[in-house]
Structure 1
């Protein structure tokens, strides 16, 4: 199976904000998601697959109601649980991430990998890139351990401007 990370614009945060041919890596990511869910015995239903396809269309985080609107237009239903259940499944399976600051969701750039992402969120165009934050997570865990605290999950979200929006500013 092709590695979705072959598309440098999709996996590398320094290129995620740059124009690139995103179609092939989105297709490969869908194939990877299908394989990962099959390997764990999880079921990729048509609604779940379509929600992931929607998230993979561009490097932006989408709210549940944005996803629901698209699903409703395509005949998948218009009740909020339809979108929320699919998004929850994708997050639980490691195929998507929830961006707390935006109350939105984005496809995971490193499906199937144990990783510590930091989300680079452009306040201008609302694009989101996933950057490695292993060192930052380790630093938080070290400080937490000194306080006797066990970290179960860390989310790092950085707000700023992507290169294109910096030029426009």
Structure 2
């Protein structure tokens, strides 16, 4: 499934294209596609996508909302006991290093990356009403921020953009 960014650039895989009615969206396909891409990315890099890492990724992709680490711990736990924090944080660190997951800093939560095969910096649209998070890849935004930083004498080492607003479903 392909989504379109604000500047018309076609993304490799978008969680749910903006403007597509939710009833037409096959969310199961999102999860299957994300797990398949993760397997391919890890195999190509010689990285091991263990069962735990795969399960964490699957839980993150289970909705189009961000997921907090402690929610993952509860979901991964057994017999009513949550998983241990180091276990989950190590899995999250691996998934971030491989470009399979992004951390949404303002929410202290994680989302699956729909573009794991191409390194990029995060541009996120966060719905303040329903909590949905979409990733956008707009080269013009990236270039404008880099140019502005350089004009101010900064050497940019990375950027993450988080825009809060209302998604199409939540607008009045």
CA–CA distance in 2 between the matches of 1:166 and 1:92?
A: 35
The aligned counterpart of 2:6 is none
What is the alpha-carbon distance in structure 1 between the residues aligned to residue 45 and residue 163 of structure 2? 32
SS at match of 1:106: strand
Residue 42 of structure 1 is matched in structure 2 by: 47
* Larger displacement relative to structure 2 (80-89 or 116-125): 116-125
- Higher helix content, 1 or 2: 1
Q: 2:62 aligns with which of 54, 57, 62?
A: 57
Work out whether residues 26 and 56 of structure 1, in 8 Å CA contact, stay in contact via their aligned partners in 2. Answer: yes
CA distance in 2, matches of 1:156, 1:29: 22
Task: Give aligned pairs, total.
Answer: 163
Change (3 A) 1:66 1:17: farther
Structure 1 residue 16: Cα displacement? 6.8
Gap regions ≥5 residues in structure 2: 4-11
Matches of 2:19 and 2:97 in 1, distance apart? 27
Shift of 1:122: 0.8
Q: Which moved more, 1:124-133 or 1:110-119?
A: 110-119
Instruction: Call closer, same or farther: CA 1:5–1:163 in 2, change over 3 Å.
Output: closer
Determine if contact 1:11/1:110 at 8 Å carries over to the other structure.
Answer: no
* Structure 1, 134-143 or 57-66: larger mean CA deviation: 134-143
- CA RMSD of superposed structures (Å): 2.4
Deviation, 1:9, is 6.1
- Is the contact between residue 8 and residue 16 of structure 1 (CA under 8 Å) also seen in structure 2? no
1:18 is matched with: 22
